[in-house]
């Protein structure tokens, strides 16, 4: 525990004295530490591609000036590094937008079944490129939840993109929408969105920390596949904002399943399905 102690002169019945005030500032200290760590992380994440960019500019001005093949190769790397910075800035903006209004529950009606199909089609080329089949299952009926369509789109695409990035080796990535399993510990009235891959999986001691900003199981691997380390932090905040729950199950070598349960908003009618 961290205490802030302040002393002030005080006039007492028997003369003068000192009044000491003790204030428990542990939470304030922790919040400050988290903010400082975050700024340090962001600076580091931006500095790495910036240093590479500046280095290549230098090389292009000097040694590689007359070498067309080298120039092409370096420009390719520079483009990749710049794209990485752009992604990071996009993710930082998304994160701050969600956090800004996290207490305000979004309520516009979102047709989740259409959204799932839409995002799946957008992401399908990525899956094909990675040699993975993308299997999508949605109920025949329309599935609607109160929410923020843009943010829910981001939840689906972040989870799907991760399943593709880290799901290599498995034959397929599966995306499904349905009711929560009756035996599920997340049992609620609502809708279940699940993304399953058959890739490398995640060791159990990492699972609880995956939604922390910039937490990565393997930073080298995350960078190689173009990750920013913010995808799951964004997912967690969006799910919180929707009063939903996120569950991560994984088995190293077998793959992972990310499940989002979203309240359907109308428990009286027995759910939306
Ligand atoms: P990143 O941009 O690094 O992918 P995320 O926040 O989306 O950041 O994920 C954090 C980390 O969680 C990743 O770096 C990776 O180690 C791990 N991870 C996320 N999804 C999966 C998955 N489907 N399979 C295995 N590991 C995963």
Between the CA of 228 and the centroid of ligand 1 the distance, in Å, is 9
Cα separation, 195 vs 173, whole angstroms: 7
Identify the pLDDT of residue 246: 97
Q: What pLDDT band is residue 14 in, cutting at 50, 70 and 90?
A: confident
136 close to 124: Cβ distance less than 8 angstroms: no
Which atom of ligand 1 is nearest the CA belonging to 158?
A: 7
Residue 59's pLDDT band, with cuts at 50, 70 and 90, is very high
| pLDDT the model gives residue 269 | 40
Maximal C-alpha separation, the chain: 89
Question: Under 8 Å CB-to-CB from 207, ≥6 apart: which residues?
Answer: 248, 250
Reported as a single tens digit per residue, the pLDDT across 149-205 is: 999 999 999 999 999 999 988 899 999 999 877 665 555 578 999 999 999 999 999
**Ligand 1 pocket check for 91: Cβ under 6 Å:** no
CA separation for the pair 134, 122 (Å, rounded)? 11
Task: Calculate how far, in angstroms, residue 8's C-alpha sits from the geometric centre of ligand 1.
Answer: 52
**Measured torsion, CA atoms of residues 201, 206, 209, 214, in degrees rounded to the nearest 10:** -70
Alpha helix positions (H), 131-225 = 149-165, 204-207, 219-224
- By three-state DSSP, how is residue 224 classified? helix
Query: Which tops the pLDDT comparison, 149 or 14?
Result: 149
In this structure, of 28-37, 89-98, 154-163, the range with the lowest mean pLDDT score is 28-37
Verify whether ligand 1 is closer than 6 Å to residue 155 (CB atom): no
Q: What distance in angstroms lies between residue 158's CA and the mean position of ligand 1's atoms?
A: 10
Kindly state if the Cβ of 170 falls inside 6 Å of ligand 1: no
Selection from 73, 82, 85, 153 nearest residue 121 by Cα:
153
How many angstroms separate the alpha carbon of residue 269 from the centre of ligand 1?
37
Nearest-atom index, ligand 1, CA of 215:
10
Residues facing 258 on adjacent strands: 195, 248
Question: What is the pLDDT, as a whole number, of residue 220?
Answer: 86
| All residues at 6 or more sequence positions from 186 whose CB lies less than 8 Å from its CB, including other chains | 180, 192, 245, 247, 259, 261
Q: Which two tokens stand for residue 118?
A: 């839409």
Residue 213: both structure tokens together: 């900003």
pLDDT tier for residue 270 given thresholds of 50, 70 and 90: very low
Q: Which residues contact 41 (CB under 8 A, 6 or more apart)?
A: 213, 214
How far does the centroid of ligand 1 lie from the alpha carbon of residue 133, in Å?
Answer: 20
pLDDT tens column, 64-81: 888 999 999 999 999 999
Q: Is the CB of 162 under 6 A from ligand 1?
A: yes
pLDDT tier, 268 (very low <50, low <70, confident <90, very high otherwise): very low
What pLDDT digit, counting tens, does each position of 219-245 carry? 888 888 888 999 999 999 999 999 999
**What pLDDT sits at residue 34?**
86
The tokens for 39 are 């700024």
Res 159: pLDDT: 98
Instruction: Look at strands 245-251 and 172-178 and give their pairing.
Output: unpaired
The verdict on the CB of residue 231 being under 6 Å from ligand 1 is: yes
Rounded mean pLDDT of 245-251?
A: 96
């Amino acid at each position: 525990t961290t205490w802030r102690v302040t002393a002030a002169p005080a006039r007492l019945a028997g003369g003068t004295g000192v009044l000491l005030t003790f204030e428990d500032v542990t939470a304030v200290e922790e919040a400050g530490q988290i903010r400082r760590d975050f700024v340090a992380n962001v600076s580091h994440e931006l500095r790495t591609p910036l240093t590479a960019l500046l280095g290549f500019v230098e090389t292009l001005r000097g040694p590689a000036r007359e070498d067309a093949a080298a120039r092409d190769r370096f420009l390719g790397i520079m483009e990749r590094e710049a794209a990485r910075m752009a992604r990071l800035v996009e993710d930082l903006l998304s994160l701050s937008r969600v956090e800004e209004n996290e207490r305000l529950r979004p309520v516009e009606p979102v047709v989740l079944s259409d959204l799932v199909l839409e995002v799946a089609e957008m992401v399908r080329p990525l899956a094909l490129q990675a040699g993975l089949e993308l299997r999508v299952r949605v109920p025949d009926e329309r599935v609607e939840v109160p929410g923020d369509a843009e943010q829910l789109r981001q939840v689906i695409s972040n989870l799907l993109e991760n399943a593709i990035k880290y799901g290599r080796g498995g034959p397929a990535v599966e995306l499904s929408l349905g009711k929560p399993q009756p035996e599920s510990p997340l049992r609620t009235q609502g809708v279940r969105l699940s993304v399953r891959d058959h890739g490398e999986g995640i060791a159990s001691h990492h699972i609880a920390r995956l939604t922390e900003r910039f937490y990565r199981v393997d930073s080298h691997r995350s960078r190689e596949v173009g990750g920013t380390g913010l995808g799951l932090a964004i997912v967690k905040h969006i799910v919180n904002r929707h009063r939903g729950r996120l569950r991560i199950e994984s088995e190293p070598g077998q793959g992972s399943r990310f499940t989002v349960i979203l309240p359907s908003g109308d428990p009286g009618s027995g759910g939306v399905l």
